[in-house]
Amino acid sequence: MSKIKMDSRPTGTRTCLYDTEQLQLVIEQMADQIFALVGNRKLLAVVGILRRGAPLADRLTEALVSKYGVTQPLRLDLSVKRYADDLSLLYPETRLTENVQHASLNLDGYTLLVVDDVLYTGYSMLKVVEYLTHKKPAEIFTATLVDRVANKVPIGSSVVGVQLRVSPGDIIECNVPPYEGDFKIELLQPATKHP
């Protein structure tokens, strides 16, 4: 994985809302909530939504294993795309690209935890949950670092790091290594707003 070029990010006024130290506490609190839901299930899979959901899934998995002694869960990543980083619409419908190795994956009886960085409209999470439902898991939980409380479909997160209600044209940027250098959440008020 390579770091995103800083000059390719949208321009505007950025305000740091959570720094690395604060986010580490948020991750620990999320791990506490997740453990309350899943305990030490033997059949647990943590599914990261690419891009930034994958390293967040790694952080949450590490916290569950180190803090609670959870058996190392199965780790999967799914590629889902609808919006660009500046919230401009890339595709009219959310696209999930199935990894060839996942096609025959047996998740029958598993507890699944789907992890993403931002819950915005809910379309990406809905697409992932719909896809995973066909794998016949016992249960599916979701976790997002940031919930913008702007859902357009009836799906939410079982576990939320922080809720941030911001203007529709503003952007919540989750900076997550290895894609960015520092682990932080920034509010971007773009020079040009997108609806």
On the question of pLDDT at 10 being above 50, the answer is yes
Task: Give domain 21-166's CATH architecture.
Answer: 3-Layer(aba) Sandwich (3.40)
Cis peptide upstream of residue 51 (ω within 30 degrees of 0) = yes
Sign (positive/negative) of CA torsion 97, 102, 107, 108?
positive
- Give 3's pLDDT tier (boundaries 50, 70, 90): very low
Chain segment 127-142, per-residue pLDDT in tens: 999 999 999 999 999 9
- At 47, is the pLDDT very low, low, confident or very high (cuts 50, 70, 90)? very high
Domain residue spans of the chain:
21-166
Q: Which tens digit of pLDDT belongs to each residue from 51-92? A: 899 999 999 999 999 999 999 999 999 988 766 665 566 656
**CA 65 to each of CA 13, 21, 40, 113: distance values in angstroms, whole numbers, following the listed order:** 38, 20, 9, 14
**pLDDT tier, 9 (very low <50, low <70, confident <90, very high otherwise):** low
pTM of the model: 0.86
Quickly state the pLDDT bin for 25 (edges 50, 70, 90). very high
Q: For residues 154-178, give the mean pLDDT.
A: 92
Is residue 193 scored above 70 in pLDDT?
Answer: no
Could you give the CA distance from residue 153 to residue 194 in angstroms, rounded to a whole number?
A: 20
Summarize pLDDT for 85-112 with one digit per residue, the tens. Answer: 655 666 567 767 777 776 778 999 999 9
CA-derived radius of gyration, the chain: 16
Q: What values do phi and psi take at 160, rounded to 5?
A: -125, 130
Distance CA 78, CA 53 (A): 9
Residue 125 has pLDDT above 50, yes or no: yes
